[in-house]
Amino acid sequence: MKSRLNSRINYPVRSFPVKGKYAAVLMPLIHEKSQWSILFTRRSDSVNDHKGQVSFPGGAIEPTDDSPLTAALREAEEEIGLKPDYVQVLGQLLPHESVTGYTIFPVVAQIQWPVPLKINPSEVSRVFTIPLDWLIKKENFVIRDWLSPFGLRRGVVFYRPYDGEQLWGISARILLDFLEKLGLVSTND
Protein backbone atom coordinates (compact mmCIF):
# COMPACT_ATOMS: atom_id res chain seq x y z
CA MET A 1 0.00 0.00 0.00
CA LYS A 2 2.76 2.47 0.91
CA SER A 3 4.59 2.05 -2.41
CA ARG A 4 1.35 2.54 -4.33
CA LEU A 5 0.66 5.69 -2.31
CA ASN A 6 4.12 7.13 -2.79
CA SER A 7 3.98 6.70 -6.55
CA ARG A 8 0.48 8.18 -6.99
CA ILE A 9 0.05 10.98 -4.47
CA ASN A 10 3.44 12.58 -4.70
CA TYR A 11 2.15 16.14 -4.71
CA PRO A 12 4.40 18.17 -2.45
CA VAL A 13 3.14 19.32 0.93
CA ARG A 14 3.25 22.95 -0.04
CA SER A 15 2.82 26.41 1.30
CA PHE A 16 0.07 28.74 0.17
CA PRO A 17 -0.62 32.45 -0.12
CA VAL A 18 -2.49 33.64 2.96
CA LYS A 19 -5.56 34.96 1.13
CA GLY A 20 -9.02 33.49 0.80
CA LYS A 21 -10.44 30.73 2.97
CA TYR A 22 -8.17 27.72 3.39
CA ALA A 23 -8.52 24.52 5.36
CA ALA A 24 -6.47 21.37 5.74
CA VAL A 25 -7.59 17.86 6.61
CA LEU A 26 -5.67 14.77 7.62
CA MET A 27 -6.70 11.53 5.92
CA PRO A 28 -5.49 8.97 8.49
CA LEU A 29 -4.79 5.48 7.09
CA ILE A 30 -4.65 2.66 9.59
CA HIS A 31 -3.39 -0.88 9.08
CA GLU A 32 -4.93 -3.24 11.59
CA LYS A 33 -5.78 -6.95 11.53
CA SER A 34 -4.39 -7.36 7.99
CA GLN A 35 -6.60 -4.68 6.49
CA TRP A 36 -6.41 -0.97 5.73
CA SER A 37 -9.01 1.42 7.12
CA ILE A 38 -9.51 5.16 7.16
CA LEU A 39 -10.21 7.08 10.35
CA PHE A 40 -13.10 9.54 10.33
CA THR A 41 -14.74 11.83 12.85
CA ARG A 42 -18.33 12.88 13.33
CA ARG A 43 -18.40 16.60 13.98
CA SER A 44 -20.17 17.76 17.12
CA ASP A 45 -23.42 19.68 17.03
CA SER A 46 -21.71 22.74 18.54
CA VAL A 47 -19.30 23.53 15.67
CA ASN A 48 -20.12 26.37 13.27
CA ASP A 49 -20.07 24.43 10.00
CA HIS A 50 -21.11 20.91 9.01
CA LYS A 51 -22.69 20.01 12.37
CA GLY A 52 -22.98 16.26 12.93
CA GLN A 53 -21.35 15.38 9.61
CA VAL A 54 -18.71 12.76 8.96
CA SER A 55 -15.34 14.31 8.15
CA PHE A 56 -11.60 13.92 8.35
CA PRO A 57 -9.82 15.59 11.25
CA GLY A 58 -8.99 19.12 10.16
CA GLY A 59 -10.10 22.70 9.92
CA ALA A 60 -9.23 26.25 8.98
CA ILE A 61 -5.62 27.13 8.27
CA GLU A 62 -4.55 29.77 10.79
CA PRO A 63 -2.11 32.62 10.04
CA THR A 64 0.40 30.92 12.37
CA ASP A 65 0.35 27.71 10.26
CA ASP A 66 3.21 27.70 7.78
CA SER A 67 1.69 24.99 5.55
CA PRO A 68 -1.38 22.79 5.09
CA LEU A 69 0.60 19.99 6.77
CA THR A 70 1.14 22.11 9.88
CA ALA A 71 -2.56 22.97 9.98
CA ALA A 72 -3.71 19.37 9.44
CA LEU A 73 -1.46 18.08 12.22
CA ARG A 74 -2.48 20.89 14.59
CA GLU A 75 -6.18 20.34 13.94
CA ALA A 76 -5.90 16.54 14.34
CA GLU A 77 -4.24 17.04 17.70
CA GLU A 78 -6.82 19.64 18.79
CA GLU A 79 -9.82 17.58 17.67
CA ILE A 80 -8.88 13.99 18.53
CA GLY A 81 -5.63 14.22 20.49
CA LEU A 82 -3.59 12.60 17.69
CA LYS A 83 0.04 13.42 18.45
CA PRO A 84 2.23 14.20 15.40
CA ASP A 85 4.72 11.56 16.63
CA TYR A 86 2.21 8.88 15.56
CA VAL A 87 1.75 10.34 12.06
CA GLN A 88 3.79 9.34 9.02
CA VAL A 89 2.94 11.76 6.20
CA LEU A 90 2.66 10.03 2.82
CA GLY A 91 1.72 12.98 0.62
CA GLN A 92 -0.82 15.60 -0.25
CA LEU A 93 -3.70 15.44 -2.71
CA LEU A 94 -4.63 18.35 -4.93
CA PRO A 95 -6.86 20.90 -3.16
CA HIS A 96 -10.66 20.68 -3.31
CA GLU A 97 -13.20 23.51 -3.27
CA SER A 98 -16.09 23.20 -0.82
CA VAL A 99 -19.56 24.66 -1.27
CA THR A 100 -18.84 26.81 1.79
CA GLY A 101 -16.03 28.55 -0.11
CA TYR A 102 -13.00 26.84 1.42
CA THR A 103 -10.02 25.53 -0.49
CA ILE A 104 -9.25 22.27 1.31
CA PHE A 105 -5.78 20.71 1.28
CA PRO A 106 -5.95 16.95 2.04
CA VAL A 107 -2.84 15.47 3.67
CA VAL A 108 -2.60 11.66 3.53
CA ALA A 109 -0.82 9.90 6.39
CA GLN A 110 -0.38 6.50 7.94
CA ILE A 111 -1.11 6.37 11.66
CA GLN A 112 0.64 3.98 14.02
CA TRP A 113 -2.24 1.96 15.40
CA PRO A 114 -3.48 1.65 18.02
CA VAL A 115 -2.73 5.08 19.44
CA PRO A 116 -4.20 6.95 22.39
CA LEU A 117 -6.80 9.47 21.27
CA LYS A 118 -8.58 12.12 23.29
CA ILE A 119 -11.70 13.49 21.65
CA ASN A 120 -12.42 17.20 22.08
CA PRO A 121 -16.22 17.03 22.60
CA SER A 122 -16.74 20.64 21.53
CA GLU A 123 -15.50 19.70 18.04
CA VAL A 124 -15.96 15.93 17.64
CA SER A 125 -18.64 13.56 18.89
CA ARG A 126 -17.17 10.29 17.59
CA VAL A 127 -14.07 8.74 16.02
CA PHE A 128 -14.44 5.59 13.93
CA THR A 129 -12.86 3.71 11.03
CA ILE A 130 -14.21 2.35 7.76
CA PRO A 131 -12.34 -0.48 5.98
CA LEU A 132 -10.85 0.40 2.61
CA ASP A 133 -12.31 -2.82 1.17
CA TRP A 134 -15.81 -1.50 1.96
CA LEU A 135 -15.10 2.02 0.69
CA ILE A 136 -13.98 0.84 -2.76
CA LYS A 137 -17.10 -1.24 -3.51
CA LYS A 138 -19.20 0.56 -6.12
CA GLU A 139 -22.45 -0.62 -4.54
CA ASN A 140 -21.57 1.41 -1.44
CA PHE A 141 -21.54 4.87 -3.07
CA VAL A 142 -23.36 6.93 -5.64
CA ILE A 143 -22.62 10.30 -7.28
CA ARG A 144 -25.63 12.59 -7.69
CA ASP A 145 -25.88 15.93 -9.47
CA TRP A 146 -26.56 18.83 -7.16
CA LEU A 147 -27.15 22.48 -7.96
CA SER A 148 -25.34 24.71 -5.47
CA PRO A 149 -26.85 27.93 -4.11
CA PHE A 150 -24.45 29.73 -6.47
CA GLY A 151 -25.82 27.94 -9.55
CA LEU A 152 -22.91 25.52 -9.93
CA ARG A 153 -23.72 21.93 -10.85
CA ARG A 154 -21.62 19.45 -8.92
CA GLY A 155 -21.42 15.71 -8.53
CA VAL A 156 -21.97 15.01 -4.84
CA VAL A 157 -20.75 11.68 -3.47
CA PHE A 158 -22.99 9.78 -1.06
CA TYR A 159 -21.89 6.57 0.66
CA ARG A 160 -24.32 4.09 2.13
CA PRO A 161 -24.37 4.30 5.92
CA TYR A 162 -21.61 2.36 7.65
CA ASP A 163 -21.87 1.61 11.36
CA GLY A 164 -24.64 4.22 11.59
CA GLU A 165 -22.56 6.96 9.92
CA GLN A 166 -23.28 8.70 6.59
CA LEU A 167 -20.20 9.78 4.63
CA TRP A 168 -21.03 12.30 1.91
CA GLY A 169 -20.14 15.68 0.44
CA ILE A 170 -16.63 17.11 0.35
CA SER A 171 -15.15 14.43 2.63
CA ALA A 172 -16.56 11.70 0.38
CA ARG A 173 -15.30 13.58 -2.71
CA ILE A 174 -11.78 13.86 -1.26
CA LEU A 175 -11.86 10.16 -0.36
CA LEU A 176 -13.04 9.17 -3.85
CA ASP A 177 -10.29 11.30 -5.42
CA PHE A 178 -7.76 9.45 -3.26
CA LEU A 179 -9.19 6.03 -4.18
CA GLU A 180 -9.14 6.95 -7.89
CA LYS A 181 -5.50 8.07 -7.64
CA LEU A 182 -4.67 4.63 -6.22
CA GLY A 183 -6.55 2.93 -9.05
CA LEU A 184 -8.95 1.29 -6.58
CA VAL A 185 -12.13 2.83 -8.06
CA SER A 186 -13.16 4.53 -11.26
CA THR A 187 -16.05 6.97 -11.49
CA ASN A 188 -15.89 7.09 -15.29
CA ASP A 189 -17.68 3.76 -15.80
- pTM given for the model: 0.86
pLDDT at residue 156 in the model: 84
**pLDDT score for 100:** 80
The CATH classification number of 2-132 equals 3.90.79.10
Q: State the pLDDT confidence band at 101, using cuts at 50, 70 and 90.
A: confident
HSE (side-chain half, CA atoms, 13 Å) at 71: 26
Q: What angle do CA 12, 79, 44 make, to 5 degrees?
A: 120
The 10s digit of each residue's pLDDT in 30-69 is 999 899 999 999 987 675 666 668 999 999 999 999 999 9
Q: Which spans in 54-95 are helix H?
A: 68-80
- Over range 14-31, report the average pLDDT: 80
Q: Are 80 and 167 a contacting pair, CB within 8 Å?
A: no
Query: Per-residue pLDDT for 29 more than 60?
Result: yes
Q: Kindly report the backbone phi and psi dihedral angles of residue 172, in degrees, each rounded to the nearest multiple of 5, phi listed first.
A: -65, -35
Which pLDDT score is estimated for 25?
98
Mean pLDDT, all residues of the chain: 87
Residues 50, 118: Cα–Cα separation, whole Å: 21
